[in-house]
Amino acid sequence: MALMNFHEHVPLAPFTTLGIGGDARYLAHCTSVDEICEALEWAATRSVPVHVLGGGSNTLFDDQGLDGLVVRVELAGVEFDVGGSGALVHAAAGQDWDAFVQSTIDADLIGLECLSGIPGFVGATPIQNVGAYGQEVSNILVAVDVLDRVSLTQTLFDAQSCEFTYRDSRFKGRDRDRYIVTGATYRLEPSARPKIRYIELEQQISAARIDLGRLTGRAAAQAVRDVVLDLRRSKAMVVDPDDANTRSAGSFFLNPILSRDEYDQTCACWQIFAGEAAPAIPSYPSMEAKGGRKIPAAWLVERAGFVRGTTHQGARVSERHALALVSQSGREADLTALAKQIQNAVQTAFGIRLHREPVRVTQDGTVLPSDDNDPRI
């Protein structure tokens, strides 16, 4: 291969936040769209399976590794176009997300501060419709630059065309593996005041004695970012090489969103399982589904018997957040087995099937995006 940064038999574990995965037969570090195209053409002529990787914060590789080519998207660069009433910010897909968030705050722009501390690259945010503490990428994203993996042509999708739903998009659904995200453009507000929509964050801001009413622009956004980072650190959701609890994929399971009838049925199932004196199942209105109720998956996991620190073989529930699963053995099989135990326990207690957030990549390059497609779950 003509690519300068191309390697064989590369351990994949260091490229993921979970620290799991065998060797990739080939790995190409691609810092331009041309290099991505070259890597795809090389693989196509040899019938080599390809997996596209960004920051590795949402990926679980097989213990046997990948018998194919891993294309690591490392495109970098940020461009600001600030006008009187708004700002467009374009970031390349390989840009570190948290560093990008800080750069927007430094530029006196509002809209990403609640998404601080999330690991990974910019390219994953429109795929996953990343969200936290009341902010969501779909609310501020303008357009996504993509590369068609077959035709090697570049296309621009506006936000509506991305078909965003809760932690989902067309890039995870009907167009999975068709496009590679190469960049994204966001619309932010200059010199504005952050909008706090999440109760826990509002409470933490108040506890820190921060008066956002007296702050604007950069100072207000930085204050919110600092509180968000403190919150995430308290849950081991900020990557720290010295903290084993952060070697996770963040929230391993999605928060279930139920209709009102489904929520009532779940409460009835829980009462049968735990008795009439059982605590009520917490829920809050879903912004994604009109009339729906969102249930904290962490609450379900702990009430099903998997409290923080619970260990099974070579994996355990994080000591600081029940939704984070941590590998102790470095084996994908151990983590998958723990996830399956948790899902079965939650389904027995509540009648709810939890769906995992990270994708699993098999040895032959198959991406298993949900439990329904994974024979081991």
Examine the residue annotation and report whether 167 is marked as an active-site residue of this protein.
Answer: yes
Helix (H, G, I), strand (E, B) or coil at 150: coil
- Look up 193 and say whether it is catalytic: no
Catalytic annotation, pick one of 57, 116, 251, 283: 251
What are the boundaries of each domain within the chain?
Answer: 6-73, 78-234, 245-373
Q: What is the pLDDT of residues 257-295, one digit of tens each?
A: 998 889 989 998 898 888 878 888 999 887 666 678 999
Whether the per-residue pLDDT at 8 is higher than 60: the answer is yes
* pLDDT of res. 277: 82
**Out of 3.40.718.10, 2.60.120.200, 3.30.70.2740, 3.30.43.10, which CATH number does the structure's domain 6-73 have?**
3.30.43.10
Second CATH level (architecture) for the domain 245-373: Alpha-Beta Complex (3.90)
Band (126; pLDDT cuts 50, 70, 90): very high
CA distance 295 to 235: 18
78-234 CATH, one of 3.90.1140.10, 3.30.465.10, 3.90.1150.10, 3.40.50.80: 3.30.465.10
* pLDDT for residue 289: 63
Report the pLDDT averaged over residues 121-133: 95
- Give residue 23's identity as a one-letter amino acid code: D
Instruction: Kindly report whether the global pTM for this prediction surpasses the value 0.85.
Output: yes
List the catalytic residue out of 72, 167, 247, 308. 167
Among residues 184, 187, 220, 189, the alpha carbon closest in space to that of 205 is found at 220
The helix or strand, by DSSP H or E, that contains position 350, with its residue range, turns out to be: helix 332-350
Amino acid, res. 92: A
**Tokens standing for 136?**
């969501």
pLDDT at 3: 56
**Strand duo 50-53 + 66-73: pairing:** parallel
Rg (CA), the chain: 21
- 200 as an active site residue: the answer is no
Residue 245 phi, psi (nearest 5): -65, -20
Q: Name the E strands within 243-323.
A: 257-258, 284-285, 293-294, 311-312, 315-317
Of 336, 334, 371, 373, residue with least CA distance to 355: 371
| Active-site entry in 38, 113, 189, 357 | 357
- Could you give the CA distance from residue 367 to residue 359 in angstroms, rounded to a whole number? 7
User: Tell me: the pLDDT tens digits for 129-179?
Assistant: 999 999 999 999 999 999 999 999 999 999 999 999 888 999 998 998 899
Burial class (CB in 10 A: 0-12, 13-18, 19+), 35: buried
- Give yes or no for a contact between 298 and 323, defined as CB atoms under 8 angstroms apart: yes
Q: Could you tell me if 92 and 75 are in contact, meaning their C-beta atoms sit under 8 angstroms apart?
A: yes
CA neighbor of 329 nearest in space, from 317, 319, 315 = 315
Task: Tell me the pLDDT of the chain averaged across its residues.
Answer: 92
Among 36-40, 60-64, 214-218, 317-321, the range scoring the smallest mean pLDDT is 214-218
Least-confidence region, from 32-36, 67-71, 189-193: 189-193
373 band by pLDDT with thresholds 50, 70 and 90: low
DSSP at 253: B
Highest mean pLDDT among 79-88, 266-275, 298-307: 298-307
